[in-house]
Amino acid sequence: MELILRAKKSRMRQSLTRDHYWYDDVQKKMLHGHGGSLVFKYDPKQKRSVPHIEDNEQWVFANDFDKIAQWVKQNDFTILDEVRKHYITIDITASEFMGVSMNLYKHGILFDYDPNEMKKELRHGQTQS
């Protein structure tokens, strides 16, 4: 039975990375740093404000495809189809469906399946036993 895991935009924390440039009047040259925000703190030893780059994070709406791919890898499912940044199709049995769907709800992953295919697989499994 195929289970389609759909990626969606969700709110995630992302670190800010910007280029910062400042002029150091003691060294007489332009300096460069990479990080969240540039803050000047007073240093009593040098008796001047010294630049310091701090890491910042912000909330953004981003695609959760990477989260879905990580979940599939952790649970060792067979991948039938994968369209980058849109969805992953995995193969499960109908008897595994309830446990897998509860796990997907718990992790906030959207999924879709064909109910007719599930009924057929359940019926086929009952007649064979």
Query: Which residue range(s) make up the domain with 117?
Result: 2-12+62-128
Residues 94 and 120 in one domain: yes
Residues 26 and 40 in one domain: yes
**Which residues, in sequence order, are CB contacts of 98 under 8 Å at separation 6+?**
none
What's the pLDDT at 126?
56
Give the model confidence (pLDDT) of 37-93 as tens digits: 899 999 999 888 889 899 889 898 988 898 899 999 999 888 888 888 899 999 988
pTM of the model: 0.64
Indicate the number of domains in the chain: 2
Tokens read off for 54:
């701090």
